[in-house]
Amino acid sequence: MGSGLAFWSPLLHLLLLLLLVMCAQGTGGRKMSETQLEATHNLMNPMDQRIHAHHSSSHMDHMDPSVMIFFTIKDLKVGKTMAVYFPKRDTSKSPRLLPRTEADSIPFSSEQLPQLLQLFSFSKDSPQAKAMGDTLRQCEMEPIKGETKFCPTSLESMLDFTHGILGSNTPFTVVATAHLRNSTTHFQNYTILNEPKEVFAPRMVACHTMPYPYAVFYCHSQASVNKVYKVELGGEDGDRVEAVAVCHFDTSDWSPNHASFSVLRIKPGTSPVCHFFPADNLVWVPTSTSV
């Protein structure tokens, strides 16, 4: 990883590259290598299970460090130290982003899972099959009240969804967590180095990467009040992260089993819940000059 990439989220870089490649070459082959498939499984991003699914509280008794992304708004100040989990993934092994025509030609539904497993040559008991099934189910789940969600399978459909939410005449931009060092530590104490900066975001669309043989995002937007921040973090091992975080001010419609409540020891709707985004998540916000 050259330091030239330092100011880019690796995924953004990848997206831009892919966009260029797609424009230049049109549709590529559909073959997936073993490493890609393995990487898909390793990329399993429990974010949406954490954010949406109904975890049993007993599951949380031995807390998985990957839920250590939550904090309260009171923690959002210079000098605050907290243990944070940042997955450091090798983005060169990320699943391929397909052009829309290609993505749209592949069914995307739980009902068709058996055919999809055949298409991608996974046995039905494989971890990849489980990951695909989980992703499809997450994508088919009804949104919670006040939420709009969609799972784009291409950059074009992600942009269409974002346009639909932010307004078709609203120019928008993307923010993402960027790792400024090569630290390989996933879980450590980080200290907030500078005053967190609020990002102009009257509305936002957050897109999480999902485990699948090709790039699939889980995008959602909530009507309730959210604030987006850029937070400079310094890790105990010298790591530096320009993290993107969101604070949800109304959590009253969230499941009481939502992981954040056990991490923060609070109840739904009692105080804002904030979390950092991993580097491969994309947060779309209107450009601030647009109003």
Ligand X SMILES: *[C@@H]1O[C@H](CO)[C@@H](O)[C@H](O)[C@H]1NC(C)=O
Residues of the shown chain interacting with ligand X in the complex, contacts defined by CB under 6 A: 1, 3, 6, 83, 180-182, 187-189
Minimum distance from residue 182 beta carbon to ligand X (Å): 4
Q: Give the type of residue at 289.
A: T
The smaller minimum CB distance to ligand X, of residues 65 and 269, is found at 65
Minimum distance from residue 193 beta carbon to ligand X (Å): 16
Measuring CA to CA, which residue among 26, 25, 42 is closest to residue 34? 42
The smaller minimum CB distance to ligand X, of residues 58 and 184, is found at 184
Minimum distance from residue 283 beta carbon to ligand X (Å): 23
Minimum distance from residue 183 beta carbon to ligand X (Å): 9
**CB atoms inside a 10 Å sphere around CB 169:** 7
Minimum distance from residue 2 beta carbon to ligand X (Å): 6
**Which residues does 106 contact at the CB level (< 8 Å), separation at least 6?**
98, 116, 119, 153, 214
DSSP secondary structure string for all residues of 228-244 = EEEEEEEETTS-EEEEE
Minimum distance from residue 127 beta carbon to ligand X (Å): 27
Angle ∠(33,216,28) on CA atoms, nearest 5: 45
**CB atoms inside a 10 Å sphere around CB 151:** 23
Minimum distance from residue 177 beta carbon to ligand X (Å): 15
The smaller minimum CB distance to ligand X, of residues 3 and 169, is found at 3
Cα 86 to Cα 166: distance, rounded to the nearest angstrom: 28
Measuring CA to CA, which residue among 286, 256, 290 is closest to residue 273? 256
The smaller minimum CB distance to ligand X, of residues 13 and 181, is found at 181
**CB atoms inside a 10 Å sphere around CB 1:** 12
Query: Using CA atoms in the order 140, 165, 55, 279, what is the torsion angle rounded to 10 degrees?
Result: 110
Task: Show the tokens assigned to 261.
Answer: 């409540």
Q: Tell me if 188 sits within 8 A of 235, measured CB to CB.
A: yes
The smaller minimum CB distance to ligand X, of residues 81 and 121, is found at 81
The smaller minimum CB distance to ligand X, of residues 118 and 189, is found at 189
The smaller minimum CB distance to ligand X, of residues 71 and 284, is found at 71
